[in-house]
Amino acid sequence: MKNFKQIALGLMVGAMAIGFSSFTNAHKATSTTARYYNQRADHNASTSPADFVFIDNDVDLCSSSTTKQCSAQWSTTNVPGEGQTPTDAGSPSLVSGSSTSGIFTN
């Protein structure tokens, strides 16, 4: 009978631990997508985050006089600050098909 009580108590404690842990909030990784401008006009299609800079501007800063890559969207873990590269904003990932043509004019 003593073994039965120990087993029952162990099962009850285990069930409570599982039950309470199911109500904790999991931390989800968030991401932010922003447009970054290619600082190097000699690139046709750069995938290097070091070539891009964030400019907080609602106006498109690309002139349409060339087929060179002007800007692209990058997803990062933090909201970018003025003049930051995608790497500075954390864990950059290039958004496929988001590149625009032109020359970056700032």
Question: Which comes out higher in pLDDT, residue 103 or 50?
Answer: 50
Two structure tokens written together for 9: 């108590």
Judged against a pLDDT cut of 70, whether residue 86 lies above it is answered with yes
pLDDT score, position 23: 61
Sort residue 46 into left (φ over 0), alpha (ψ -120 to 50) or beta: beta
Q: pLDDT at residue 29 above 80? A: no
In the numeric block, which tokens belong to residue 53?
Answer: 């800079």
Query: What pLDDT is attached to residue 83?
Result: 94
pTM: predicted TM-score of the whole model, two decimal places = 0.69
pLDDT band at 25 (very low <50, low <70, confident <90, very high): low
CA distance 103 to 86: 19
Residue type, 31: S
